Amino acid sequence: MSDTKPARASWSGKWAFILAAAASAVGLGNLWRFPYLAAKYGGGTFLLVYVVLVFTFGVSLLLLEIALGRYTGQSAIGAFKAFGKKYAFIGIFASAIPFIITCYYCVIGGWVAKYAASYIAGASSQIAGAPADFFTGFITSPVESFIWMYLFMAAVMLVVGLGVKKGIEKSNLVMMPLLILLAVGIAVFTLTMPGALDGAAYYLVPDFSKLAPETFIAALGQMFFSMSLAMGIMITYGSYVDKQTSLTASAGRIAGFDIGVSLLAGLTIVPGAFVALGSAEAVAENSGPSLMFVILPTVFDQMGGMGAIIGLLFFVLVLFAALTSAISLAETMVSIIMDGARWSRKKAIIAVTVFLFAVGTVVNLGYNGFSFLEPLGAGSSILDLFDFVSNSVMMPIAALMTCIFVGWVVKPRDLELEIKRSSKFVAEKAWVAIIKYIAPVLIVIILVAYVAAQFGFFSM
């Protein structure tokens, strides 16, 4: 593939790449979204489906995206266009996804920022006194909830504007291991609380009678979201990888990092919810976007004097993970606009800021001024709609088009060679089978089932 531009930026080494990809992947998807989905969709059953999906389909798609990026030396739109102008639409479609996700990601980022600030201000027992009221009161507040969202957005756009990529990479090196240590520590503590082991059993032991179509549907959407797949980010990151770095080993490590953090977060929050709520049914019924914000403060409170500090550390680290992911999302939006509209970086940053501000405001209004809008049925919000459209509809479609394109239109041959330039490719045959047959069939089934469920053909 000819690259007419001057030499592209590149990672300083293979670990810089793995760390940057992991920092984009590890975020609210792991800490906030995964635990509540696991709690909702049958605990161990969901876990099993998720792990199998990640290590077959997820890793394959990750490898495909990185290889496509390195092979073409382009980010999403350019990578598809490199095979012919008529294929650019796949990249364009995938590129629209971060524009939806970032808007609601910043709303939740605002929630996390508020919690981190409240713990810093010593409000831990006040929150734990009435966690549900505190949470609801905050997200429905007509002024305060907006302020925290705007602050989160401002922090994200400031970093993107300063381009302090190096700074983020370095701090990741400290924060990521800290996050894992803390997650392990809190998990261990939670598991010693009375009733928690039942929760751990619910979380870890699959119950096949709970296996329903929606388990697969939810797990698939979560996989794309959490691994930052199907929206071009990993293609762009792959385009910065040098020809010596093993793509297979990198994909395995990124996936391992991502799933590791999810597993730990689930192991804390699901048993914690069990302690607080008492039964699997209650946990499943009460789990939704509020789980982390309503359940964990109670768990922290029961830790005695240490609770306030652990809670503070926890929310600060979640905030950090959310920021690094949001920064990678915003950075992607900026580069899409720069490439697509041929705008300067400054102009693109201003456009993204205005867009985020406007659309984020609408999403947040879904919890107060516009709360009468329930786009996905009673109790749902605009945020749920954005989440559904991006994770459950657009990402599967983007992944489907990518697999068909690579598997059937251009044929996987060139990408196989690209992967083999830097390492052995033991699972080559399985990879091709997944890309050509298994993934497309699976996505179509899941997509049809999901949309059918939303239109009420079967209940979720």
- Which residue's CB is nearer to ligand PHE, number 37 or number 277? 37
Do residues 108 and 326 lie in contact, with contact meaning Cβ atoms separated by under 8 Å?
no
Does residue 228 interact with ligand PHE by CB under 6 A? Answer: yes
Closest CA relative to residue 323, chosen from 21, 31, 24 = 24
Do residues 107 and 383 lie in contact, with contact meaning Cβ atoms separated by under 8 Å?
yes
Do residues 198 and 35 lie in contact, with contact meaning Cβ atoms separated by under 8 Å?
no
Number of residues that bind ligand PHE (CB under 6 A): 15
Q: What binding mask, one character per residue, do residues 91-110 give for ligand PHE by CB under 6 A, x or -?
A: ----------x---------
Residue 142: CB minimum distance to ligand PHE, A: 27
Residue nearest to ligand PHE (CB): 29
Residue with tokens 């979720």: 460
- Which residue's CB is nearer to ligand PHE, number 16 or number 127? 16
Does residue 236 interact with ligand PHE by CB under 6 A? Answer: no
Instruction: Report 298-317 residues binding ligand PHE (CB under 6 A).
Output: none
**Taking the chain, what is the end-to-end CA distance rounded to the nearest angstrom?**
46
Residue 230: CB minimum distance to ligand PHE, A: 9
Residue 86: CB minimum distance to ligand PHE, A: 27
- Which residue's CB is nearer to ligand PHE, number 235 or number 403? 235
- Which residue's CB is nearer to ligand PHE, number 25 or number 356? 25
Residue 366: CB minimum distance to ligand PHE, A: 20
Residue 20: CB minimum distance to ligand PHE, A: 11
Closest CA relative to residue 146, chosen from 175, 109, 97 = 109
Closest CA relative to residue 386, chosen from 102, 85, 90 = 102
Do residues 103 and 356 lie in contact, with contact meaning Cβ atoms separated by under 8 Å?
yes
Residue 137: CB minimum distance to ligand PHE, A: 25
Closest CA relative to residue 238, chosen from 79, 90, 89 = 79
Rounded distance between C-alpha atoms, residue 355 and residue 357, angstroms: 5
Do residues 109 and 323 lie in contact, with contact meaning Cβ atoms separated by under 8 Å?
yes
Closest CA relative to residue 257, chosen from 10, 74, 27 = 27
Tokens coding 282: 């209650």
Does residue 329 interact with ligand PHE by CB under 6 A? Answer: yes
Do residues 52 and 60 lie in contact, with contact meaning Cβ atoms separated by under 8 Å?
no
Among 226, 239, 245, 353, binds ligand PHE (CB under 6 A): 226
Tokens coding 229: 């797949």
Residue 193: CB minimum distance to ligand PHE, A: 27
Kindly indicate which of the ranges 11-19, 75-83, 153-161, 222-230 contains the residues binding ligand PHE, using the contact rule CB under 6 A. 222-230
Q: What binding mask, one character per residue, do residues 254-293 give for ligand PHE by CB under 6 A, x or -?
A: ----------------------------------------
Among 152, 216, 225, 314, binds ligand PHE (CB under 6 A): 225
In terms of C-beta density within 10 A (0-12 exposed, 13-18 middle, 19 or more buried), how is residue 92 classed?
middle
Instruction: Report 19-48 residues binding ligand PHE (CB under 6 A).
Output: 24-25, 27-30
Residue 65: CB minimum distance to ligand PHE, A: 12
To 5 degrees, how large is the angle CA 36–CA 386–CA 215? 40
Residues in contact with ligand PHE by CB under 6 A are 24-25, 27-30, 101, 225-226, 228, 231, 233, 325, 328-329
